[in-house]
Amino acid sequence: MPELLVPDNLKAGVSLACRYEPEPHATYLELAQHYQTAILPARPYKPKDKAKAEAGVLLVERWILARLRHQRFFSLAELNRTIADLLVDLNRRPFQKLPGSRLSSFESLDKPELKPLPEQPYDFAVWKKAKTGIDYHIEVDKHYYSVPHPLVGKKLDVRISATVVEVLHQGERVASHLKSSRGGFTTCLEHMPKSHQQHQKWSPERFIRWGQSIGPCTAQVTEQVLQGRPHPEQGYRACLGLLNHARRYSKKRLEAACERALTIQSPNYRSVTSILKKGLDQQPLEGIQDNETESLRPLHSNVRGSDYYH
């Protein structure tokens, strides 16, 4: 491993391109720390800062790519094998004005100065920012992971590897979870508040009272949303979305939609939202058909229905 890396100012490697104090991307910086090397990006619009690399690109274009321009390849593996053979030939080609070749110069000058690789392989991970919701969970790839409840409302750093999701606050790890597939919640009991004193602003009782101020059916749907989760806090987001429909559609329409959702035995946020969007809340309950639950499914170009085959 070399002592120093000199990349371009590409967005994948450098988050903030600056002439004096560039900021490498978090994933790239973590890679450098793992291999115990430093990153010194070239200055913007200054390719001479990495003249050796630019000269190497020109050399490969002339001696490898130019020789392949009339050939056709039918797989990436086949192309890579051909390039590898030509690369060996290029590195062994004698210099025109200096003794030796690129291979002999590497063996005598560069190789003795390189550091050995670490014993453990680099674990690739993606970094992102996430804001903690009122249910003290953060969203990562459509899945929700818990963090300590005092961090509600704060922006946290999230490190996402192939198997683990780590959450950091001010550089200190505050939570770690096994990565799960999309959908659902991963909650640690120790992240939950021991009492409602620190969580008094949002509680199941407050959501139910909010629903009762709209109507009994809305309160009943809200209560069932909270009871249908392993932890009531996991239903806070759905309750917020449900009750906020009163501002968009009116309290009267939300109450009618909740009544219809209870009638078809589908008291959840998705059903109520679909009823409001389609205006089914404005139709009489006597006209409910047995297959109305099917009509509440979201429209999609791949869902064609039975009429498609007539």
List, in order, residues 6 or more apart from 98 with CB less than 8 Å away: none
Residue 187's pLDDT is: 83
% of the chain residues with pLDDT over 90 = 37
Q: Does 101 or 44 have the greater pLDDT score?
A: 101
% of the chain residues with pLDDT over 70 = 88
Q: Are residues 145 and 109 in the same domain?
A: no
Q: Does 237 or 146 have the greater pLDDT score?
A: 146
**Which sign does the torsion angle of CA 179, 152, 229, 295 carry?**
negative
Query: What CA–CA distance (Å, rounded) separates 8 from 151?
Result: 37
Nearest CA among 293, 303, 230, 237 for reference residue 262: 293
Section 198-227 average pLDDT:
81
Boundary of a domain, candidates 169, 191, 213:
191
Structure confidence by residue, pLDDT tens digits, 261-306: 998 888 888 899 999 998 888 888 775 654 554 554 444 555 555 6
DSSP secondary structure letter of residue 164: E
Residue at 55: amino acid letter: A
Given a cut of 50, is residue 252 above it in pLDDT? yes
pTM of structure: 0.55
> Other C-beta atoms within 10 Å of 24: how many?
20
Q: Are residues 10 and 94 in the same domain?
A: yes
> Other C-beta atoms within 10 Å of 35: how many?
14
Does residue 119 lie in a domain region?
Answer: no
- Is residue 254 within 8 Å of residue 276, measured between CB atoms? yes
Residue 307's pLDDT is: 61
Q: Are residues 97 and 148 in the same domain?
A: no
Boundary of a domain, candidates 113, 137, 161:
113
Least confident piece of the model among 9-13, 93-97, 185-189, 299-303: 299-303
Q: Are residues 160 and 87 in the same domain?
A: no
Structure confidence by residue, pLDDT tens digits, 66-80: 999 999 999 999 999
Q: Are residues 29 and 107 in the same domain?
A: yes
Domain hosting residue 214, numbered range: 204-301
Q: Are residues 238 and 208 in the same domain?
A: yes
Section 151-170 average pLDDT:
92
Residue 8's pLDDT is: 85
Does residue 120 lie in a domain region?
Answer: no
List, in order, residues 6 or more apart from 38 with CB less than 8 Å away: 3, 4, 5, 32
Query: What CA–CA distance (Å, rounded) separates 180 from 158?
Result: 15
Domains in the chain: how many in total? 3
Given a cut of 60, is residue 18 above it in pLDDT? yes
Query: What CA–CA distance (Å, rounded) separates 22 from 37?
Result: 16
Section 169-194 average pLDDT:
85
Section 1-13 average pLDDT:
87
Q: Are residues 152 and 71 in the same domain?
A: no
Does residue 226 lie in a domain region?
Answer: yes
Boundary of a domain, candidates 191, 226, 248:
191
